Amino acid sequence: MAQPKGLLPSLVERLRRWLGHPGLSVPPEIPDPLWNKTLAGLPCLHDLGQGERQGLRQLSARFLADKEFHGAQGLVISDAIALSIAAQACLPLLHLGADGLDWYDDFVGIVVHPDEVLAPREAVDAAGVLHRWQEPLIGEAMAGGPVMLAWSRVKGGRQATTQGHNLVIHEFAHKFDLRGKPASAAADGCPPLPADFMGLGRMAAQQRWQQAWSTAYQRFGEQLALSERFGEPAPWLDAYAAEAPAEFFACSCEAYWVARARYAREFPELAPLLDAFFRRPPR
Ligand SMILES: [Zn+2]
């Protein structure tokens, strides 16, 4: 929840109050100066058309009303921080219609740390030995749980956009992936596909999706291995994508949303699938 600054309630507080009063049909507006500053600070939004910007603004207001932000380690959640995260999280929802926000309805909390955090991890190896270590985390999304983000890594500039990086979209892509899966299941890069996906029946659509993604994932891993072992050019996309099919999907979604033209050149077989999944109209 945003900390109130001075006597005036923050934008996030006003939006949450509006949500508690169904009689008020029009949500509080995101003030022009705050919205314009948010757009200016996010290069990934600079190519949006006027209608898309308006749609994103409305989605962001609704998102801010629905979600609860928590600042960790002393970080105070300002309206600017909350709106920056909201706008990036809502970008993939832009063409999904009135119920697009349903993709994010399995959680309320968004925990924002100032910087990366060290998460304790443990695992038992094949010999039965327990290993404990600390893993640096800049973001995390779990089924039915909050999304964690490191604010220092959310503030991606133009360079991050050119490279196809966007931490917020990455973590929220995991939410797409996890939707409809049991709480115990892990993300696997296969989100539920909309009915009539690419004009295919349900089974054919799933087959098309899985075949294209597994082929591309394998090829990406091979290209990455060649670059690491033999100095060949590294493939364009975060190397973290090679960790697992779920990470390949999440890294693809961030690259697709912030640098679609480059993504489509690098992954021509996957871009049409993401176009269809996110119902993004041809430009
Ligand atoms: Zn991830």
The rounded Å distance from CA 149 to ligand 1 centre is: 11
The rounded Å distance from CA 117 to ligand 1 centre is: 15
CATH topology of domain 1-181: Cyclin A; domain 1 (1.10.472)
pLDDT for the residue 12? 75
pLDDT for the residue 110? 96
Nearest-angstrom CA–CA distance, 267 and 215: 11
Show the low-confidence residues of the chain (pLDDT under 70). 1-9, 18-28, 156-157
pLDDT for the residue 23? 58
Give this prediction's pTM. 0.89
Maximum Cα–Cα distance across the chain:
65
The rounded Å distance from CA 275 to ligand 1 centre is: 21
Structure tokens given for 198: 């690419």
Domain spans of the chain, in order of start = 1-181, 188-283
The rounded Å distance from CA 94 to ligand 1 centre is: 21
pLDDT for the residue 163? 87
Contact status, residue 267 vs residue 191, Cβ threshold 8 Å:
no
